[in-house]
Amino acid sequence: MPLSHTALAIFVVAIWGTNFVVIHVGLAHFPPFTFATLRFALASLPLLAFVPRPRTPIRMIAAYGLLIGVGQHGLTLYAMHGHISAGLASLLIQGQAVFTILLALLISGERPRVGNFVALGLCIVGIGLIGGHVGGDADVLGLSLMLTAALSWAGGNLVAKQAGSVDMVGLVVWSSLAALPLLLGAALAFEGPTMIWQSLTDADVYAWATLPWQSFGNSIFGYAAWNWLLARHRAADVAPIGLLVPIFGMSATALLLGEAMPPWKLAAAALVLAGLCVNIWASRRPIAVAVNDGIVAAPQ
């Protein structure tokens, strides 16, 4: 993968990582499913008249919306509403790298390199450190929800990759619309009209300011750029760059929210970062393939 594409991916995950502070602020004013509904409504409804529906089957648009909107973000917001800290949520969501590569292997037949497996091993050890410190920063429900959210993100990655070279902004906008009915239904079922209305009337300017960042910066730009990269490169090369999310996320939550950074958190972050470095190195090495009786480097 070219360095310019790697730089774009790192810029996207920087937005996603620091976004956990924005989520923390939003959840102080909006209940989780209401917050998710507002986010995806703003990312879709105002733009439908200006952004054409992408030329891909409706089932793929709907699948992407449900996996990313409901599975990833709905569950993440619910977990962060009292079940896991923002910093740990930013780290656990990176289980998506493991799940994406495994799903790509099973569904798409991609061939991960040895370096990809080494990188994933480092990531798994880092996540294992978190699992051994369940306590004040997370509970079992929070961990379970975040790992399910990571699996949903991985599924969304594969759907975006299978969509091919379509308008990725259109995919994000129209799939956000597909996520709205379930998110609104969850808000009404779990939070109720009274709580929803009270949160809307009590929200201050800081609460409302989280929505444009969530919708346009995090969703439309972030996922459109990420999906553009997935359409052009192997999932095993792109997905692990998301492992930088917790580095940005834990740093931002420590600086802005005062979250503690004990040695085990630093060690987990270091393992994740080491995995990212190994994966970038592996993704830039050519794959050897047989041609007649010789071996040549496959094009990237």
Report residue 224 as tokens: 């459109």
What digits encode the pLDDT tens for the residues 182-222? 999 999 999 999 999 999 999 889 889 989 888 888 888 88
Amino acid in the structure at residue 180: L
More confident residue, 274 or 280: 274
Residues in the chain: 300
* pLDDT number for residue 289: 43
CA 34 and chain centroid, separation: 19
In sequence order, what are the residues at sequence separation of 6 or more whose Cβ sits closer than 8 angstroms to the Cβ of residue 144? none
More confident of the two residues 12 and 238: 12
The pTM for the full model equals 0.75
Can you give the pLDDT at residue 162?
Answer: 81
Residue 129: which residues within 8 A CB-CB, separation 6 or more? 264, 267, 268, 271
Q: What is the DSSP letter of 138?
A: B
Three-state DSSP at 84 gives: strand
- Measured over the CA atoms of residue 108, residue 180, residue 214 and residue 134, the dihedral's sign is negative
